[in-house]
Amino acid sequence: MAYGRLGSSDGFDCVWAPSVPLVGPPDALVLLGALGPVTSRIEQGSYVVPTFPRHPAVLAQQALTVQQSSSNRLALGIGLSHKPVIETGFGLSFSHPIRHLREYLTVLTPLFAGRAVQMS
């Protein structure tokens, strides 16, 4: 986390972390969660965290934890990723991406607001 302290002392306003699950670490939210306590003002952002391989309840839990550790400085990016990544890399269907994202947000949005969600 030395680069977080260096970035803060060098006047940077934000740090962005990638989330590329098939390439390997670091995981954006784990990295940003660790960075939050060692900086006091730098905004933290994730590039697109793919929705298909991460359950919305897990993403909400991770993102809210990063928000706590960073005093609400997280800008969370989420998205579908790409068909080859999801189908070839994860073996998941990418046949209805818009429906998937709508359903995902139906769960994620209330969790971010601290409301319960009925998942079936």
Within 1-120, residue ranges assigned H as helices are 2-9, 28-35, 56-69, 83-84, 90, 97-112
Average the pLDDT over 43-71 and give the result: 94
pLDDT tens profile 80-119: 999 999 999 899 999 999 999 999 999 999 999 999 988 7
Residue 96 has a CB neighbour count (10 Å cut-off) of 10
Instruction: Give the list of residues 6+ apart from residue 103 with CB closer than 8 angstroms, or none.
Output: none
